[in-house]
Amino acid sequence: MMLDLGVPNEQIILAAQETLYMVFVSLIIGSIIGLILAVILVLTNKDGILRNNYVFAVVNTVVNIIRSVPFIILMVFILPLTKLLIGTRIGTTAALVPLVIFIAPYLTRLFENSLLDVDKGIIEAAQAMGASHFEIVWHFILPEAKASLILSVTTGTIGLIGAT
């Protein structure tokens, strides 16, 4: 016996496909941006290996401001940017712009916490071996934080589904 909700099955399938498209594309782009911003925050904070108060303050402030804006207000606020980038303000592709801007700062904070949990001794050992800043991040910090980063993406996905 089939449950009839008054909606054709094709529409349900299309809506599910569009939701998956919006979630996963925005999650991938937002994760890349969030990871870059998190690495910048971790490296430039007061205990970071590239301490830079100005860069840290600017990135930290931008992340905090965007995170504090509710999604619906953010979506309306960036309609001109969406129109500029995509060419339209409606549709699943147009929804990617506010979704990415919504999820990137959220993931940035989660990723930052994951990266800050890496033992400082590992970073000191990498520096003692003569590793460059890039090598420290790529070969030491990210692998050590991998499990926590995966959990952060899972948490971010749940928030993103709610926004979608």
Listing DSSP states for 32-52 in one string gives HHHHHHHHHHHHHSTTSTT--
Position 126 scores a pLDDT of: 92
Both tokens assigned to 121:
């001794």
Per-residue pLDDT at 163: 83
Distance CA 157, CA 151 (A): 10
Q: Rounded to an integer, what distance in angstroms lies between the CA atom of residue 97 and that of residue 24?
A: 13
pTM: 0.88
- At 24, which amino acid appears? F
* Torsion sign over Cα 126, 131, 136, 140: negative
pLDDT digit of tens for each residue in the chain (164 aa)? 555 566 678 888 998 899 999 999 999 999 999 999 999 999 999 988 999 999 999 999 999 999 999 888 988 999 999 999 998 888 899 999 999 999 999 999 999 999 999 999 999 999 999 999 999 999 999 999 999 999 999 999 998 988 87
Nearest-angstrom CA–CA distance, 125 and 154? 31
Q: Which domains does the chain have, with CATH numbers?
A: 9-163 (1.10.3720.10)
Give the C-alpha separation, 88 to 95, whole Å. 10
DSSP 9: H
Output the pLDDT for position 117.
93
Give the pLDDT of residue 6: 64
